[in-house]
Structure 1
Amino acid sequence: MGATREVQWSELQRDPKSVAALADTGDVRVRRRDGAALLLMREDRVSAAGEGAFTAARALRNVLTHLPLEVAAAALTEEFPWLSLLPVEELPQFIADFTRSAQIAAEVGQWSVLAQTVREWRATAAVYADPSLLRRLTEPLTDDYGPVPTPMEVDDDAG
């Protein structure tokens, strides 16, 4: 497969056959002035990419499951340096969440699942990096903030 080529929207409109020929050799990014770029690719490559991603996610899960925790954590910390901010006892949960999210993302073809897991854990690491924030979020509540409305009451107030 070749590198991603770029064309303008007007070129796709003017000469769709030549843009389709480009898509036969690799992905084509179609730039638009009034919106996000589009990615044009052949369906057979998308299907193969999905199968490859699913296979890679399954293999990653199996490898991380069988590695000693220290080795798996060290490998993932190279990619995500902020993991070093987490307490050691949190690392097994991160590894489990990461591998499960990778497998789910590959199975359903929605990589936002994995991205969300990484975002949430990075935010958790940021909390651990700020002792004042960590203390405020983990100390017991001593004030009475009154009754908690039911979700129905909240919806009624918004409407």
Structure 2
Amino acid sequence: MLPAPASPRRDRAQSVQSSELSRNPSRVFAAAERSPVDVTRRDGEDLVLMSKREADARDALLGIAVELIAVATDDRGTLAERMADRFPWMLALGAADRETCARELLDSARASSATRQPHLAVATLTAWRETASALAAGLEGGIVDWFDEPTAVGRP
């Protein structure tokens, strides 16, 4: 029997015996779409069944962690300079934004690891990289005129 759906915090994977996977594959697969499922086996090493999205997110977090370890082991320059060496797109940011970006990337990677939520670090990295790309393309923040009231437009 499958345990109750996992909580949003994925502290522990659900666990099923391999025979349950054989008897009720659709239920086990549905559970694996929500969070990883440990498949225990008598005749071999236990396996983990997870969605490709989950595996890709973990791979992305591992990739970020590799770069952050390289930054941490380098002693040349400031944190922001070392981060910009590993993430060259950061050079499109101003000096103050590079410092903020570096700190946010480290903090989100730590939070992702601590909570087992890889998307936190990936989302932070993506947001900063897209900001840098927009700045490099000349899309700098300017004065924005907001409409206070809805404005009717004609049909195209």
TM-score, normalising length from structure 1? 0.48
Which structure carries more helix by proportion? 1
Greater relative contact order (Cα < 8 A, sep 6+): 2
State which structure, 1 or 2, has the greater radius of gyration over its C-alpha atoms: 1
TM-score, normalising length from structure 2? 0.48
